[in-house]
Amino acid sequence: MAKSRIVHEAVIDIPREHFAKYPNLDNLVILKQEIYYDHRTSANYRTVYQQTIKSIENYPYDKLLRGMQLKNAPLMLELCMRRLAECEVPSHLTLKEVLEILERLVGAEMPWLRVGRESRRLPPLHHYSARLQQRAIAACAWMHFDAYFKLPHGDSLYSISNTDTMHKAAFCADACARRNVQPPIVLRIARWLTSIWGRYRVRIRDVDGFSMLDGLWKVYAEHEQREMEQEIQLFVKAGGPWATNDIYQCATTGCDVRATHKGAFRACGGTCPPDKKPHYCSRECQRRHWHVHRSVCQQGDAQFRKYQELPAEEDGPSGSHWDSLGLLDYPDNTPNAVLSADEIWAPQPGAEIFVDLYHPSPYRHDEWIRIKTRTLTPAFLRYCRWYFEFEVHRAVREEMKQLGKRNTKARRTLKFRSRPVMTGQNKARMRSPLDWP
């Protein structure tokens, strides 16, 4: 049996005081984290938020537009980032125009950009640097990678091999890797391309156009090696196969909030034995588990009950009261759940908690997605898990069902006709969504 593994880990430490200060501010921060920063160095999320807000305040849209007219490279890149995140920039600037600006910042580094540029001289850019060029290349990789999934059959092996969108995304990622620049988007592209083996039993490195990306595959192999070494170190540090799992889970049935540090949860304040003392992620979970833990906790001396986190009247009006609440049904696990601000945000940043989500793909049963946070509440994480595993999985099942219906329909017999074609024009190509009107 294959061992389950975490294939993606999302850290969501959104500062409460900065959230929703500007529309889509969080999208802009996530986009910059994907493109600007190296994955080998952890960026301080609060600092990234503050820098992004300061950039919006110091450079409104009018200044960015003027900077593009003056060929100011940093302002041109900032304009592209805000348009991609749709943050404080009008939407009349098309994605094709954004890509043209980014390609202007990249220069003649890409093969498809050299055609036609050698015969004309472009005006020089001001405040241009190698670091800015690297970020522009990573932004191009992100745009092509995002545009690929907007194709009608973007997940098919045919579209991977016969569209230039994914080829351009991989080529841009390879250009970043050759410069020893490894933003998260580079590893994201490499990881997705290698996942083709699990779906089609095809090694992407054997496909035409992807075999020459030595820099990308080298960086991804080094990343996989580092992850393996870290897993071995954690395994040895924990004591080998006889060690206990260094992950703590809330004691309440139905709550899947976990933590890597025991201090992230609160222990029962009663006089229950230490070996039977449960730990909870929130007071709500403690209330729900009280009817289970009550008999154990009340075995202690009655004079110490005043130190319990739950008062004596929390025994409830009757046993039916707890039955009506339900053990597995949380009020935030419903389609019409409305969480207040206090139910979403923790009073202050604390120890890190997380939830693990099953991968929705039917071909990746043994893979998980982990969401970690220090600023959000357990109630919000439970809702995220419910929404992902019910709504997202249901949408994936419906899509697979519709795909199966299309594949089972009767098909007409193909008839081939030979006709003269021009050299180089006999291979079907699909247009990129970036070229759509």
What pLDDT, on the 0 to 100 scale, is given for residue 42? 73
CA angle 240-244-250, nearest 5°? 150
Q: For the beta carbon of residue 398, count every other beta carbon within 10 angstroms.
A: 10
Q: For the residues 255-277, what does the mean pLDDT come to?
A: 83
Q: Is the pLDDT of residue 321 over 50?
A: no
Mean pLDDT, the chain, rounded, equals 77
> How far is Cα 238 from Cα 318, in angstroms, rounded to an integer?
44
Q: For the residues 384-413, what does the mean pLDDT come to?
A: 68
Q: For the residues 43-58, what does the mean pLDDT come to?
A: 88
Residue 389 DSSP code:
I
Could you read off the pLDDT of 404-430 as tens digits, one per residue? 655 555 444 444 454 444 444 444 445
Could you identify the residue written with the tokens 């049935």? 253
What pLDDT, on the 0 to 100 scale, is given for residue 1? 39
Could you read off the pLDDT of 163-207 as tens digits, one per residue? 889 999 999 999 999 988 899 999 999 999 988 887 788 888 888
Could you read off the pLDDT of 286-310 as tens digits, one per residue? 888 888 888 888 765 444 444 444 4
Per DSSP, which regions of 253-374 are E strands?
A: 258-259, 266-267, 279-280, 353-358, 367-373
Q: For the residues 260-264, what does the mean pLDDT come to?
A: 81
Residue 2 DSSP code:
P
Measured between its terminal Cα atoms, the distance across the chain in Å is 49
- Asked if residues 145 and 188 have their Cβ atoms less than 8 Å apart, the reply is yes
The interaxial angle of helices 45-58 and 25-35, nearest 10 deg, is: 110
At 274, the pLDDT band (50, 70, 90 cuts) reads confident
Q: Is the pLDDT of residue 77 over 90?
A: yes
* 430 against 364, higher pLDDT: 364
Q: Which sign does the torsion angle of CA 106, 111, 115, 118 carry?
A: positive
**Backbone dihedral region for residue 368 (phi beyond 0: left; psi -120 to 50: alpha; all else: beta):** beta
**Given the DSSP bridges, would you call strands 353-358 and 367-373 parallel, antiparallel or unpaired?**
antiparallel
What pLDDT, on the 0 to 100 scale, is given for residue 330? 54
> How far is Cα 120 from Cα 107, in angstroms, rounded to an integer?
13
Greatest mean pLDDT among 62-66, 208-212, 274-278, 433-437 lies in 62-66
- Asked if residues 74 and 132 have their Cβ atoms less than 8 Å apart, the reply is yes
Q: Is the pLDDT of residue 33 over 80?
A: yes
Q: For the beta carbon of residue 185, count every other beta carbon within 10 angstroms.
A: 25
- Asked if residues 357 and 388 have their Cβ atoms less than 8 Å apart, the reply is yes
What pLDDT, on the 0 to 100 scale, is given for residue 237? 63
Q: Is the pLDDT of residue 84 over 90?
A: yes
Q: Is the pLDDT of residue 65 over 90?
A: yes
Greatest mean pLDDT among 79-83, 120-124, 297-301, 376-380 lies in 79-83
Q: For the beta carbon of residue 155, count every other beta carbon within 10 angstroms.
A: 14
Greatest mean pLDDT among 119-123, 155-159, 208-212, 431-435 lies in 208-212
Q: Is the pLDDT of residue 228 over 70?
A: yes
- Asked if residues 254 and 329 have their Cβ atoms less than 8 Å apart, the reply is yes
> How far is Cα 146 from Cα 99, in angstroms, rounded to an integer?
12
Query: pLDDT above 70 covers what percent of the chain?
Result: 73
The CA distances from residue 224 to 8, 369, 390, in Å, are 13, 17, 31
> How far is Cα 177 from Cα 167, in angstroms, rounded to an integer?
15
